[in-house]
Chain A
Amino acid sequence: MFNNVRLALKLGFYGGIIALFISVIGMVETFDQRNIINGVVSIGLGVLLINVLVIGYQTAARIGKGLVQPGENGKQTARARAIVIGNGSLAGAVVSSWLALLVLVESQINLRSVLINVSPELISLLTFGLETGAGALLLLFLGTLFGGLGAFTFSLPSRVRRPLVAGLMWLAFWGLLSGVIRTTLSEIGIPSVVAKLFVKIEGLTPLGAVIIFLLAIAINLGNQRWREPLIERITLLPPTRQRYFRFGTWALGIILLLALPWIVGRVTSDTLVLVGIYILMGFGLNIVVGKAGLLDLGYVAFFAVGAYSTAILTSADEISAIQISFWAALPIIVIITGIAGLLVGAPVLRMRGDYLAIVTLGFGEIARFIALSDWFKPWLGGAQGVINIPSVALGNFLIVGPQKLYYLILAFALFALFISRRLDKSRVGRAWEAMREDEDVAETMGVNTIYYKLLAFAMGAMIASLGGAVFAVKLSAIFPHSFNVEVSITALSLLIIGGIGSLPGVVVGAFALVGIPELLREFSEYRLLLYGAVLIIMMIVRPEGLVPSTRRARELHEDEAAQDDWLKSETERNIITPAEL
């Protein structure tokens, strides 16, 4: 009993700090411009709301775990539910009490001289336009209510809870990305009068929100009910018919991939290209970090070399003496960057772990400073960069604009994926893995670690150069400041968040870290803050990443390997997986 209350207070305390923090740094107010659901909840308030719901849910999840044993009677279940919901409400109340405190303090002292984002707008937002006292009370009441609701959600049987949670997550997700829905609707030819019923420029309409919510529930329920039987029925079919199914799924996937830029429209396609570049970099870095275990923090250097060699070889600018077509330049670009990979790799061969990370970080910065320097200005353009990079031509067809560029990056990414997959299960892949596990032992088992380190650096660099090439063509001009350490950090972060060593993880990570912030312009100011927060949360909750490779998951949960299935199902229940999105 006492423990439960203490847990609720503790989680509420943490949640409150988060709520207070995002309020005083101005996030709530910035995000108030757009709505998750028009006239109901703005993104700013939505963030606070989600915070309270999650805290309530988590409190319930931690308390509720051992509370109800299967086979107990209804009375005890009801009691357990009451405990869970009570504590959830308590946690919610604690969260909102922080905000209430902020409101009260602000009414007495002018906080704005220190915390410039604590504006009257923020306060009126938090008090729903009421007087200080009444507003604070309402805030407390709502916190309690939604904390309790979060806990109540947990206490529902899983066949109800899962669809409900999925529905809420979909709603939050598409509410944030309502812009994408809007452009998509207009791209596929829905007249704007009709589209406006579902989504407006400020956000989803209540009708649109209900539709998304119901759709998510329907999909989740359908998945629960028909997925297993369907798979079973397909496996019972004769092999030829099975092949049709497999072929059908593949064809559907490919058609979807090819049609994507025309469905989502020009603006979103631009984001897709950027995400594609990062996916490509993720695949490359995955070879270096994920496979060979060489922590490279200066990956941007190879991206830069790829972009600069593309620019110099193809640009019509007076800086570059040569001007050849993109396709003629491509092999040269790849080879140049591969050599750059060897050059970076060679001096750091004897370094391990942290030392390697620091040195590569230095190399990344060196690359930028070389590009920026006056010394190399006649060749690299200095701070002015290189301009006039022409579009890629395919015969008479000019690949121009994000929707067509998408195919170029798609082709490159698929190529990199193909290479990574093929290398995975090969002598080379095994040598890398052995080296990552134990360098000395790999060496004594006959793996020439020097060769394989250089190979990993070179392969990673060559893949990054493709990304750099597309980047140069996309912008048609490149400047040194595009190649700062943030690119390396992003590439590494997306790898970690997706799950190191996992190829699907790279795709998920790139969409989460590059795609979503790009689509949500309001995010940009808080981008690095959110990166940090997401990384910390991931490392605590799910260190193996969103889509972990089996090997990596094994490594991080070695001591749990022997534990029984019950616990396993229990953890699955409490961690919300991306599948529920």
Chain B
Amino acid sequence: MPLLETTQLTKDFGGLRAINSLGLHIDQGEIVSLIGPNGAGKTTFFNLITGLYPQNTGDIIFDGHNLKGMPPSSITKLGIARTFQTVRLFNNMTVLENVMVAQHSRTKSGVFGAILQTASFREEEEMIREKAKEVLSFFGSKLTGYRFDQPASMLSYANRRRLEIARAMATEAKLLLLDEPTAGMNPRETQDLAELIGKMRDEKGFTILFIEHDMRVVKGVSERVIVLDYGQLIAEGNYEHISQNDRVLEAYLGKKAENA
């Protein structure tokens, strides 16, 4: 059974059909990249899955649950976490706090626990902190040590991207949706991150779906590529397969003159 499956998924913005009866599936433990020209509906697809937009028709089935009508926080609790195309951190909170917030749906202490400082509250708080440090250490020394207490806004661009990924990982999701994780990074950083994506699956067991424009990353990391255009699935398969596909070439490069 696939981890995530969509059937006949459709989303309209006024007269514009951003996602057009899209049916695709992601299996447990896969690394899948989602590509397509600008405006193909990739980010809209992420927003639909995470519940930020309601779909018009169709179903999203995740891990046996239909996500229709669920608020984003419940979807996160079920096990989907994401990053954003434009980095959206809690800028005035510290690096550690950013990651601590993300464990919200895995923890449960409330107002009374906090006010009375019960044993279970303190235990949980300690656990959240340890877990946050552990997740951050996944990125080597880039986000650890003195950086724990730095506000997120003080980080370099690449580190902000990393922190956003760390925050998504800390939700203990099953499926991670990364929206252009390497955008704006230099080739070296891109290479590092591509390796990390592999490690996230191999060592931490995340299933990963990511939007990417850098074809070297797509080729290097993903086991399967899904290509969208005008909200429709136009091709899927391994990189070699889709790179030969006429419809994909057409979507990226335009129609050949004799066909037009």
Chain A residues packing against B (C-beta within 8 Å): 418-419, 422-423, 426-431, 433-434, 437-438, 440-450, 455, 459, 551-552, 554-555, 558, 561
A247 to B121, CA, bound (A): 27
On chain A, the residues within 8 Å of B82 by CB distance are 444
On chain A, the residues within 8 Å of B52 by CB distance are 440, 443-444
Asked whether, in the complex, the Cβ of B88 is within 8 Å of the Cβ of A438, the reply is: yes
Asked whether, in the complex, the Cβ of A443 is within 8 Å of the Cβ of B73, the reply is: yes
Query: What's the nearest-Cβ distance from chain B to residue A415, in Å?
Result: 10
Asked whether, in the complex, the Cβ of A438 is within 8 Å of the Cβ of B90, the reply is: yes
1/0 per position for B131-153, CB-CB distance to A under 8 A? 00000000000000000000101
Query: What's the nearest-Cβ distance from chain B to residue A427, in Å?
Result: 5
Question: B101 — nearest CB in chain A belongs to which residue?
Answer: A434
On chain B, the residues within 8 Å of A558 by CB distance are 91, 153
A50 to B73, CA, bound (A): 56
Query: What's the nearest-Cβ distance from chain B to residue A460, in Å?
Result: 13
On chain A, the residues within 8 Å of B128 by CB distance are 427
User: Which of A437, A440, A450, A554 has the most chain B CB atoms inside 10 A of its CB?
Assistant: A437
Asked whether, in the complex, the Cβ of B114 is within 8 Å of the Cβ of A428, the reply is: yes
On chain B, the residues within 8 Å of A419 by CB distance are 115
Asked whether, in the complex, the Cβ of A431 is within 8 Å of the Cβ of B104, the reply is: yes
A3 to B80, CA, bound (A): 60
Asked whether, in the complex, the Cβ of B125 is within 8 Å of the Cβ of A426, the reply is: yes
Question: B50 — nearest CB in chain A belongs to which residue?
Answer: A444
B68 interface residue per 8 A CB criterion: no
Asked whether, in the complex, the Cβ of B71 is within 8 Å of the Cβ of A561, the reply is: no
User: Which of B51, B73, B105, B110 has the most chain A CB atoms inside 10 A of its CB?
Assistant: B73
A447 to B104, CA, bound (A): 6
Question: A431 — nearest CB in chain B belongs to which residue?
Answer: B104
Question: B102 — nearest CB in chain A belongs to which residue?
Answer: A445
Asked whether, in the complex, the Cβ of A422 is within 8 Å of the Cβ of B115, the reply is: yes
On chain A, the residues within 8 Å of B110 by CB distance are 427-428
A95 to B17, CA, bound (A): 65
User: Which of A422, A434, A445, A455 has the most chain B CB atoms inside 10 A of its CB?
Assistant: A445
With A428-B110, A444-B82, A446-B104 given, can you name 15 additional A-B contacts, CB distance below 8 Å?
Answer: A423-B111, A426-B125, A427-B128, A428-B111, A431-B104, A433-B93, A438-B90, A441-B84, A445-B81, A445-B102, A446-B106, A447-B101, A459-B111, A554-B92, A555-B91
Question: B168 — nearest CB in chain A belongs to which residue?
Answer: A445
Cross-interface CB contact of B73 among A437, A448, A455, A554, cutoff 8 Å: A448
Question: B100 — nearest CB in chain A belongs to which residue?
Answer: A430
A385 to B17, CA, bound (A): 59
User: Which of B84, B101, B109 has the most chain A CB atoms inside 10 A of its CB?
Assistant: B101
On chain B, the residues within 8 Å of A450 by CB distance are 71
Q: Given A434-B101, A558-B153, are A423 and B71 also a contact pair (CB < 8 Å)?
A: no
A455 to B114, CA, bound (A): 14
Question: B80 — nearest CB in chain A belongs to which residue?
Answer: A444
Q: Given A438-B88, A551-B92, A555-B92, are A446 and B154 also a contact pair (CB < 8 Å)?
A: no
A441 to B90, CA, bound (A): 8
B33 interface residue per 8 A CB criterion: no
Asked whether, in the complex, the Cβ of B114 is within 8 Å of the Cβ of A446, the reply is: no
A430 to B107, CA, bound (A): 12
On chain B, the residues within 8 Å of A449 by CB distance are 73
On chain B, the residues within 8 Å of A445 by CB distance are 76, 81, 101-102, 104, 167, 171
B72 interface residue per 8 A CB criterion: yes
B77 interface residue per 8 A CB criterion: yes
On chain B, the residues within 8 Å of A418 by CB distance are 115
Query: What's the nearest-Cβ distance from chain A to residue B6, in Å?
Result: 18
Asked whether, in the complex, the Cβ of B73 is within 8 Å of the Cβ of A426, the reply is: no
Asked whether, in the complex, the Cβ of A444 is within 8 Å of the Cβ of B72, the reply is: yes
Query: What's the nearest-Cβ distance from chain A to residue B53, in Å?
Result: 11
Interface size bracket, B side = 35 or more
A418 to B110, CA, bound (A): 16
Query: What's the nearest-Cβ distance from chain A to residue B48, in Å?
Result: 13
On chain B, the residues within 8 Å of A446 by CB distance are 73, 76-77, 102-106, 171
B124 interface residue per 8 A CB criterion: yes
A429 to B115, CA, bound (A): 11
Q: Given A434-B101, A447-B101, are A427 and B114 also a contact pair (CB < 8 Å)?
A: yes
Going nearest first, the 7 A-B pairs with the smallest beta carbon separation are A446-B105, A426-B114, A446-B76, A437-B90, A446-B104, A443-B72, A448-B73
A455 to B112, CA, bound (A): 12
Asked whether, in the complex, the Cβ of B153 is within 8 Å of the Cβ of A429, the reply is: no
On chain A, the residues within 8 Å of B38 by CB distance are none
Q: Given A444-B50, A446-B102, A448-B71, are A427 and B109 also a contact pair (CB < 8 Å)?
A: yes
On chain B, the residues within 8 Å of A447 by CB distance are 73, 101, 104
Query: What's the nearest-Cβ distance from chain A to residue B226, in Å?
Result: 22
B66 interface residue per 8 A CB criterion: no
B8 interface residue per 8 A CB criterion: no
On chain A, the residues within 8 Å of B74 by CB distance are 448
B59 interface residue per 8 A CB criterion: no
A446 to B76, CA, bound (A): 5
Query: What's the nearest-Cβ distance from chain A to residue B183, in Å?
Result: 17
A431 to B111, CA, bound (A): 11
Question: A430 — nearest CB in chain B belongs to which residue?
Answer: B101
Query: What's the nearest-Cβ distance from chain B to residue A417, in Å?
Result: 12
Query: What's the nearest-Cβ distance from chain B to residue A359, in Å?
Result: 22
On chain B, the residues within 8 Å of A441 by CB distance are 84, 88-90
B97 interface residue per 8 A CB criterion: yes
Query: What's the nearest-Cβ distance from chain A to residue B181, in Å?
Result: 16
Question: B110 — nearest CB in chain A belongs to which residue?
Answer: A428
On chain A, the residues within 8 Å of B72 by CB distance are 440, 443-444
A386 to B93, CA, bound (A): 47
B245 interface residue per 8 A CB criterion: no
In chain B, positions 157-185 with a C-beta closer than 8 Å to chain A are 167, 171
B57 interface residue per 8 A CB criterion: no
B85 interface residue per 8 A CB criterion: no
Asked whether, in the complex, the Cβ of B114 is within 8 Å of the Cβ of A429, the reply is: yes
A440 to B171, CA, bound (A): 15
B117 interface residue per 8 A CB criterion: yes
On chain A, the residues within 8 Å of B114 by CB distance are 422-423, 426-429
A327 to B77, CA, bound (A): 42
Cross-interface CB contact of A426 among B71, B76, B109, cutoff 8 Å: B109
Asked whether, in the complex, the Cβ of B125 is within 8 Å of the Cβ of A444, the reply is: no
A446 to B73, CA, bound (A): 4
A434 to B125, CA, bound (A): 17
Q: Given A419-B115, A555-B92, are A442 and B101 also a contact pair (CB < 8 Å)?
A: yes
Asked whether, in the complex, the Cβ of A437 is within 8 Å of the Cβ of B105, the reply is: no
Query: What's the nearest-Cβ distance from chain A to residue B82, in Å?
Result: 6
Asked whether, in the complex, the Cβ of B90 is within 8 Å of the Cβ of A434, the reply is: yes
On chain B, the residues within 8 Å of A428 by CB distance are 109-111, 114
Q: Given A422-B117, A440-B52, are A427 and B107 also a contact pair (CB < 8 Å)?
A: yes
A430 to B110, CA, bound (A): 11
Question: B116 — nearest CB in chain A belongs to which residue?
Answer: A422
A442 to B102, CA, bound (A): 8
Question: A438 — nearest CB in chain B belongs to which residue?
Answer: B88
A471 to B100, CA, bound (A): 40
Cross-interface CB contact of B91 among A422, A429, A437, A459, cutoff 8 Å: A437
A413 to B113, CA, bound (A): 21
Asked whether, in the complex, the Cβ of A430 is within 8 Å of the Cβ of B97, the reply is: yes
On chain B, the residues within 8 Å of A438 by CB distance are 88, 90
